[in-house]
Amino acid sequence: MSEALQNSNTLDTPIQFIKGVGPKRAEVLHSLGISTIKDLLYYFPRKYVDRTSLSTIGSIQEGDEVNLVGRVKSVNLRRMKKGNFVTANVADHTGSIRLMWFNAADYIHQSLKVGDLLTMHGKVAAYKGSHQIVHPEYDKLNANEISLTTGFIIPVYPLTDDLKKSGLENRNLRKIIYLALQSVENIDDHFDTDLRKQFDIQDLNTALRNIHYPKDFVSLEKSVHRLKYDEHFFLQLLLAKRKSKIKENKYDSIKFKTKSYNKILKNLHFELTGSQQLSLREIVDDFLSENPMNRMIQGDVGCGKTIVSILASAIVVDNNYQVAIMAPTDLLSKQLFKNFKSQFESIGIKCTLLVGSLKPKEKNKVLDEIKSGKSNIIIGTHALFQKKVEYKKLGLIIIDEQHKFGVRQRKELSEKGGNNCDVLVMSATPIPRTMMMTVYGDMDLTLIKEKPKNRKKIVTYSKLEDKISEIIRFVKKEISNKNQIFWVCPLIEESKKVEQQSVVKKFKYLEKYFKNRIGLIHGSLDKDERNKILNNFLDRKLDILVSTTVIEVGIDFPNANVIVIENADKYGLSQLHQLRGRVGRGSKQSYCILMFKSSLSENAKKRINILKSSDDGFVISEEDMKLRGYGDLLGFKQSGIKNFRLADPILNEDLFLLAEAEVKKLEMKGDNFSKYNKLLKLYDRASIINEIS
């Protein structure tokens, strides 16, 4: 080991200075995002092999799920027409066992060598009077692995096959991390002793050492608990800094001018709900403030967010500002344009549509109207923040279906308004508060939970797929009453591996019953063709629309009152609730029919029963999270927030709330968080950090 590293106590030491790394292996580690000792120590194991529950090969029985350690005695690759497979014979001092792999056979054959020491996990099956394990999980051990792993628990790190092929295997990585930990005398803690005692969390030095080489599972749990708290704390810290940065800007306030507001209110054929009135009060308070509005309206499907955004826009226009409303698709933009135009055109306020499909002459005219200020309200897709678009005086940005846009897109559009632009985003995707704060914690939050009084509860049924004749009779009856139907299937083409109905096959099947009044859309259709079919359905030229989940985005089809969802057990709860929300937009009674096969898992039964018993999107999403855990559950890949490494904002709500309270306490004390600056990049939230700085 180099003298520089031996005398160093910094976590910022480049990785190539650790013994056994060097430039070539450092390059491989860089592909994992590991450049320094700090990066290495924060590259956590994906699981652990418990050597305390190790079985000997001679003691195992059929049906046992076991952990074994043994040496490879032979490896054989068999090439067959239907695919290759590998077998290996592994033995310890009590006996031998056959291992078998069908997947990645060539790679495993090259990887395993006679004499390799393996740790294996899998279910024991009978084989010709002896035992075998098919597709065991395995990991190679060093000859001196016992000294590195304390002889009890072995960490297993996430490595791709490409990395393994490059020569980096778990046993190499364990040794590198072991040597890295030896090279660092002590890891300084960013939390003081009093806080650690108050929250009953381990010191950082112990936690980082113990997560890689745990003494036992009790102490490992404490280490994971501490590092989960760190993740929640740093997220809260980053969001607090972002919020503080936004509020440094001082804006001209927007007065509560009510001329257009009152005209629109008077023309409505319904009364606003209490939730809608409260959300408007919060928006007006933001307008009156000298700080910029940065607010999220979150509401269930059909809760009436659009009229709130229309009334907010009326106030802004009466203050001689323009409003830009961004939606994720041309079709949704056109629908919003239609809704805004119906309210504003009659009172002399001009609404303009700006989408990518406009012809050049038409587009240039729209651009001129925006620049001159002739257009008061501009509705469109991401075209709204292209370089050619110049606003005369942009005062409010409204972003619909926020999670379909990235952090950068929201930022680029807000910059079009210069130093005096409020931001209001809307989402029809109810998610629990902890996850909402994780993704949009830099924003103030408004919830609309009430639904308009004229909306009837959607009746939800579940039906076995072999009862399809009953469903067709029901659909025929609804069509005879001049209603429209969505029929949703998950896949475009037949798949032997996954037992799901093909949308194309279903369309042909239903065509026999409904002839020329049926349409088909899926993701493989080009945009123009898809929009044409959707418009035909909207104009009631079609009775049934057979579709994949492309109809999930918030398009309003007021005459559609039945949705049939095939293979409903294959969807998450929240997605089913979003799909169900495509109907029930009018005053008629609406229905959702969930079709499924007879062999449902316990989780699938729970999901379907929850959906049948509740129409509250917030309750449903909470239950969905409990069943499925945190992840890319609702398609937030573009949100700008990376996934947690260890923490889960749903399952670790207690830590989330502790961290939130602690950061608020620091803010109240006037803490500028400077002592945490070196640690802010630990969790790789670069897109937010760049905006802060």
**Strand ordering across the sheet containing 125-127:** 125-127, 130-134, 95-101, 85-92, 65-78, 117-123, 137-141
The pLDDT of residue 554 is 55
- DSSP letter for each residue of 291-353: SPPEEEEEE-TTS-HHHHHHHHHHHHHHTT-EEEEE-SSHHHHHHHHHHHHHHHGGGT--EEE
Highest mean pLDDT pick, 373-377, 403-407, 533-537: 373-377
The pLDDT of residue 171 is 76
Give the whole-angstrom CA distance, residue 463 versus residue 46: 40
Give the whole-angstrom CA distance, residue 420 versus residue 418: 6
Q: What type of residue is 678?
A: K
Give the whole-angstrom CA distance, residue 68 versus residue 60: 10
The pLDDT of residue 137 is 81
Q: What type of residue is 686?
A: A
- How far, in Å, are 291, 417, 667 from residue 286 at the CA level? 7, 17, 21
Give the whole-angstrom CA distance, residue 578 versus residue 561: 14
CB atoms within 10 A of CB 551: 20
pLDDT over threshold 60, residue 690: no
Contact yes or no for 430/621 (Cβ under 8 A): yes
Supply φ then ψ for residue 421, to 5 degrees: -130, 125
Supply φ then ψ for residue 590, to 5 degrees: -120, 160
CB atoms within 10 A of CB 388: 10
142 Rama class: left (phi>0) / alpha (psi -120 to 50) / beta: beta
pLDDT over threshold 60, residue 402: no
pLDDT digit string, tens, across residues 473-522: 999 999 999 999 999 987 555 554 443 457 888 888 999 898 888 998 88
Q: SS3 for 374-385, per residue?
A: CCCEEEECHHHH
CB atoms within 10 A of CB 630: 18
Burial class (CB in 10 A: 0-12, 13-18, 19+), 675: exposed
pLDDT over threshold 80, residue 687: no
**Range scoring the smallest mean pLDDT among 11-15, 437-441, 491-495, 651-655:** 491-495
pLDDT over threshold 70, residue 9: no
The pLDDT of residue 209 is 93
CB atoms within 10 A of CB 480: 9
pLDDT band at 620 (very low <50, low <70, confident <90, very high): confident
- How far, in Å, are 292, 370, 457, 557, 584 from residue 587 at the CA level? 38, 37, 10, 12, 7
pLDDT digit string, tens, across residues 87-143: 999 999 999 999 999 877 788 888 899 999 888 888 999 998 899 999 888 878 776
pLDDT over threshold 50, residue 289: yes
User: What SS3 state is found at 72?
Assistant: strand
Q: Which residue has the tokens 């076991």?
A: 66
pLDDT band at 4 (very low <50, low <70, confident <90, very high): very low
The pLDDT of residue 264 is 94
Non-local (6+) Cβ contacts of 332 within 8 A are: 400, 401, 553, 554, 555
Non-local (6+) Cβ contacts of 153 within 8 A are: 48, 49, 50, 51, 52, 213, 214, 216, 217, 220
Q: Please list the residues that pair with 10 across neighbouring strands.
A: none
- How far, in Å, are 249, 275, 416 from residue 290 at the CA level? 8, 25, 19
The pLDDT of residue 641 is 44
**Range scoring the smallest mean pLDDT among 429-438, 456-465, 573-582:** 429-438
Give the whole-angstrom CA distance, residue 682 versus residue 208: 13
pLDDT over threshold 70, residue 368: yes
Q: Chain-wide mean pLDDT for the chain?
A: 82
Supply φ then ψ for residue 468, to 5 degrees: -60, -30
Please list, residue by residue across 35-72, b when 16 or more beta carbons sit within 10 angstroms of its beta carbon and e when fewer do.
ebbbbbbbbbbeebbebeeebebeebeeeeebbbbbbb
Q: Which residue has the tokens 């469109």?
A: 380
DSSP state of 670: T
pLDDT band at 404 (very low <50, low <70, confident <90, very high): low
Helical (H) or strand (E) element with 519: strand 518-521
Write down the H helix ranges in 200-273. Answer: 204-212, 217-247, 259-267
Average pLDDT over residues 644-656: 76
* Residue (of 630, 639, 679) closest to 441 by Cα position: 639
pLDDT band at 590 (very low <50, low <70, confident <90, very high): very high
Look at the pTM and tell me if it is higher than 0.85.
Answer: no
**Pair of tokens at residue 197:** 């005692």
Give the whole-angstrom CA distance, residue 258 versus residue 511: 53
Four-residue CA torsion sign, 113, 116, 122, 125: positive
CA 251 to chain centre: 33
Q: Which residue has the tokens 């006996």?
A: 95
The pLDDT of residue 657 is 81
pLDDT over threshold 90, residue 398: yes
Average pLDDT over residues 538-550: 86
Please list, residue by residue across 397-410, b when 16 or more beta carbons sit within 10 angstroms of its beta carbon and e when fewer do.
bbbbbbbbbebebb
Contact yes or no for 423/400 (Cβ under 8 A): no
The pLDDT of residue 643 is 59
CA atoms within 13 A on the CB side of 27: 4
Average pLDDT over residues 217-221: 91
